[in-house]
Amino acid sequence: MTARIRFRDLLMVLAGVGCLLLKRWFAKSLGDLAFSYVGNLSASFAVYFLVSIAATPKLTRVMIAGIALLVVELFELTDGFGIMTNVYDPFDYLANALGVGLAYCVDAASVRLFRDNGGSP
């Protein structure tokens, strides 16, 4: 993994955490839908890039997405791994999947941009 990709992954984790922290602000403009699901979407986005940072070069993007999705869905299923309190909402599973899917798309697109601009992925 190149330094540029590792730096990009770190920035994406911070972006996901930032959106999580701004959830209440989003809820003011977007309503209850944002309050209920922006946290799931942004946390799942961040988890994808955390897994990407920790992954070995042998793991493909699809495998990274699968691991990230497994982690966030298990978090939902186990009520925060028994550490955090979580309010059950079946649509959280969908929001988690959308967050991982968005992260996958950002990952694929940014690697393509690095290649098109002459940088190495």
Burial class (CB in 10 A: 0-12, 13-18, 19+), 96: buried
pTM comes to 0.86
Q: Return d(Cα 43, Cα 36) in angstroms, integer.
A: 13
At 62-102, the pLDDT tens digits run: 999 999 999 999 988 887 767 776 677 889 999 999 999 99
At 40-55, the pLDDT tens digits run: 999 999 999 999 999 9
Domain boundaries, the chain: 3-116
Query: Who wins on pLDDT, 120 or 89?
Result: 89
The reported pLDDT for the residue numbered 121 is: 54
User: Are 73 and 47 a contacting pair, CB within 8 Å?
Assistant: no
User: Are 99 and 42 a contacting pair, CB within 8 Å?
Assistant: yes
The reported pLDDT for the residue numbered 4 is: 85
User: Are 51 and 18 a contacting pair, CB within 8 Å?
Assistant: no
